[in-house]
């Protein structure tokens, strides 16, 4: 089954921001597009708004004047659903209410032909449930665009329980001809992106609720050490706290209140207070005129040690050895067993967090970094009883490498490590349940939420047992089950161990 021919009319029902964006994508690709909205006059207003955006594309040399004029000629506003007869595809982008969407599609079935592809842009409802009452449910599919639709490349093509494979293929190929990067997935709560991304927000909120670090520090560590484009608190302020919390709550409820997706009480209180983020002027940060944004906690300058002893293999942090040498600090290597460690001249030890608590006056944990060379900030964690000189020496060592240092509370798994491990875990679980392929999951997370690496790319870099072991240790300290590694992750780590066993 191939993509829709460009001569085939496409309709968009619902002319808010997302509906206009989808219509613009189809229009620029070359389709005749019909806009419909239940509110009188909205479709005409949307057509005018799309026309203005086409003008801006011409100003930016992304369209020629002739292409703009041709696109405008293909765009019409429909006064009723009956005007959508003859369309080959209808995409719905109306309010996120199951009853409203079901009623709309039942009405559309009386208008369009049986060969018309029907699609919902829902981000939180079941595609199966939306299309469940249709006379021809096999032609119903999810086409989940990301906002702003004209700019973001990802489209999740979601097959409901009754979706015909040929319909999903046609939707996929059509999205691809529109210049998008589609991924296919089964109808599961959150699809790929909103399912796998929940830990990015949840772990930041958990660290904050445990009073281990403030939002500005957590955001800085996620950006400057984890390589994420934005921190969790600034991103949810941009999305809207009410919107982000609603998606989290929807996924949690859809999974029958699975503890892995539990919403945050701190975020609930923020929403209840009306602090919804940028759109309300206040969220985790204050966006009102004259307000100063708080900076991250950054440790004062400290003296670097004259030398360090590196025992064993530092694993994901192995690059630190070369960086320490380049900084002019002598490195004395020694053989070691188990996890590698860095020993300071006073006998104190630095270790990459393993998901446990430091628990000793002689131990400091440091957090995971996407790239220790490129990272501009490193988080350190120690128990309340740590020797002051040890924490100072650890701080001085990383400062000698050109890093800012944030000292956070002794939360298991710290910030970046626990976030990445949980993302990897949910990705493995999703693939094991047939939601999507590993390749599509990686594509979705890189393009949908701008992660620096997909979960499976991270897993290959960190090692097949790393996430499982770290989450197992966190679970020992936080035995709620929220961070317990999934069966899929256990199976993968065990299979890798068997393959690596000499015969």
Could you give the residue numbers annotated as active site? 123, 144, 156, 194
Q: CB within 8 A of 340, min separation 6: which ones?
A: 310, 311, 312, 313, 314, 315, 317, 318, 351, 352
Beta bridge partners of 155: 145, 182
Looking up tokens 């609603």 gives 246
CA neighbor of 228 nearest in space, from 260, 205, 248, 204 = 204
| Residue 3 DSSP one-character state | P
In degrees and rounded to multiples of 5, residue 453 shows phi and psi of -140, 150
CA neighbor of 398 nearest in space, from 453, 463, 446, 329 = 329
Q: Strand, helix or coil at 323?
A: helix
What distance in Å separates the CA atoms of residue 90 and residue 120, rounded to the nearest whole number?
8
CA distances in angstroms from 281 to 274, 275, 278, listed in the order given: 10, 7, 5
Question: With contact defined as beta carbons under 8 Å apart, do 377 and 407 qualify?
Answer: no
What distance in Å separates the CA atoms of residue 418 and residue 409, rounded to the nearest whole number?
14
The number of CA neighbours under 13 Å toward the Cβ of 320 is 30
Q: State the SS3 of 286-299.
A: ECCCCCCCCCCCCC
| Residue 328 DSSP one-character state | T
What distance in Å separates the CA atoms of residue 456 and residue 422, rounded to the nearest whole number?
12
What is the number of other CB atoms lying within 10 angstroms of the CB of residue 109? 19
Question: With contact defined as beta carbons under 8 Å apart, do 387 and 361 qualify?
Answer: yes
Start-to-end C-alpha separation, the chain: 47
- Which runs of E-coded beta strand occur in 383-482? 404-408
Question: Which secondary-structure segment (H or E) carries 156?
Answer: strand 154-159
One DSSP character per residue, 260-285 reads: GGPPPHHHHHHHHTT--BGGGTBSSS
Strand ranges of the sheet holding 349-352, from the earlier edge strand across to the other edge:
330-334, 307-311, 341-343, 349-352, 363-366, 377-382, 404-408
């Amino acid at each position: 089954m191939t993509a829709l021919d460009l001569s085939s009319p496409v309709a968009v029902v619902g002319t808010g921001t997302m509906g206009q964006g989808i219509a613009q994508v189809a229009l620029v690709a070359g389709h005749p597009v019909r806009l419909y909205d239940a509110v009188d006059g909205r479709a005409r207003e949307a057509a005018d708004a799309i026309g203005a955006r086409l003008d801006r594309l011409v100003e930016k040399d992304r369209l020629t004047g002739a292409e703009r004029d041709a696109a405008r000629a293909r765009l019409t506003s429909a006064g009723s659903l009956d005007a959508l007869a003859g369309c080959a595809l209808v995409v719905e982008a109306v309010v996120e209410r199951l009853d409203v969407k079901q009623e709309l599609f039942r009405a559309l079935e009386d208008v369009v032909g049986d060969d018309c592809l029907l699609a919902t842009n829902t981000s939180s409802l079941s595609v199966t449930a939306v299309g469940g009452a249709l006379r021809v449910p096999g032609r119903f599919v999810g086409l989940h665009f990301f906002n702003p639709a004209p700019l973001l490349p990802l489209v999740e093509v979601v097959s409901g329980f009754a979706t015909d494979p040929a319909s999903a293929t046609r939707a996929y190929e059509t999205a691809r001809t529109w210049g998008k990067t589609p991924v296919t997935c089964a109808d599961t709560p959150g699809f790929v992106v909103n399912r796998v991304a929940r830990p990015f927000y949840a772990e930041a909120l958990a660290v904050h609720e445990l009073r281990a670090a403030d939002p500005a520090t957590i955001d800085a560590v996620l950006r400057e050490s984890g390589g994420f484009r934005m921190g969790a608190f600034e991103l949810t302020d941009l999305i809207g706290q009410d919107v982000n919390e609603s998606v989290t709550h929807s996924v949690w409820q859809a999974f029958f209140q699975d503890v892995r997706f539990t919403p945050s009480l701190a975020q609930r209180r923020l929403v209840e207070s009306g602090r919804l983020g940028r759109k309300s002027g206040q969220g985790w940060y204050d966006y009102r005129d004259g307000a100063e944004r708080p900076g991250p906690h950054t440790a004062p300058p400290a003296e670097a040690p004259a030398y360090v002893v590196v025992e064993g293999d530092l694993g994901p942090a192995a690059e630190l050895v070369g960086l320490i040498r380049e900084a002019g600090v002598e490195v004395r290597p020694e053989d070691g067993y188990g996890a590698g460690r860095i020993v300071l001249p006073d006998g104190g030890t630095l270790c990459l967090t393993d998901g446990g608590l430091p628990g000793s006056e002689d131990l400091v944990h440091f957090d995971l970094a996407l790239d220790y060379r490129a990272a501009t900030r490193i988080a350190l964690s120690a128990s309340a009883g740590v020797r002051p000189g040890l924490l100072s020496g650890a701080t001085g060592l990383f400062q000698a490498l050109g890093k800012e240092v944030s000292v956070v509370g002794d939360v298991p798994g710290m910030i970046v490590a626990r976030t990445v491990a949980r993302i990897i875990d949910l990705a493995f679980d999703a693939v094991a349940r047939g939601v999507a392929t590993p390749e599509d999951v990686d594509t979705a997370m890189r393009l949908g939420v701008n992660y620096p690496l997909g979960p499976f790319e991270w897993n290959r870099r960190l090692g097949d047992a790393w996430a499982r072991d770290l989450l197992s240790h966190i679970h020992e300290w936080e035995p709620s089950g929220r961070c317990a590694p999934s069966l899929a992750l256990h199976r993968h780590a065990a299979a890798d161990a068997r393959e690596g066993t000499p015969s």
